[in-house]
Amino acid sequence: QPDLVERLISVDISPVPTAPVSEFSAYISAMQSVRIPAGLSRSAARQLADEQLQPVVQLPQLRQFLLTNLVEVEGRYVWRVNLEAISHHLADIMNFPVFHKPYLGPALFLGGSKSPYISSKDYPEIQRLFPKADVQYIEGAGHIVHQDKFEEFITAVLKFLPPP
């Protein structure tokens, strides 16, 4: 129902399947293998989890982002997100549904210049589905654009939105 959307912002994702460029499966496996003994403080638990994730999740910013999902429940540290469900449905999550009716409103595809998730090879599909799309990249940002370059991200979003 594109008529219900006034403007659309897509942050570092294209309307194409992304499984070939995704390391999410490895990240999920690494998160599932984290082991934290009971009785640790929150900071010690996060430090231990960070060390266990480091061989697979090499970017410190990405590890910090993942660690925001580590929570204490009844004295144990667990992941807030359902890793089991995500791992079983990752292909569905990483695919993009087939749409034939384009969204005719303004659209901003805002990607990180260091991320593979919005590629020039995606431009024809972006243009087909979002004919008024503007594709922009934030220099130096990876996939988690808002974390990597917060001020630049906010500036780009505010420029796209109509004035209050």
> Per residue in 13-57, pLDDT tens?
999 877 655 688 899 999 999 999 988 999 999 999 999 999 999
pTM across the whole model = 0.74
Instruction: With a cut of 80, say whether residue 127 has pLDDT above it.
Output: yes
Which tokens in the block code for residue 14? 């294209």
Question: Nearest to residue 13, comparing CAs of 144, 103, 132?
Answer: 144
Sequence spans of domains, the chain: 2-16+97-160, 23-91
| Diameter over CA atoms, the chain | 55
Give the architecture (CATH level 2) of 2-16+97-160.
3-Layer(aba) Sandwich (3.40)
C-alpha separations of 15 from 70, 125, 136 in Å: 30, 7, 15
Cα separation, 17 vs 94, in Å, equals 6
Which tokens in the block code for residue 134? 């503007």
Cα separation, 43 vs 140, in Å, equals 29
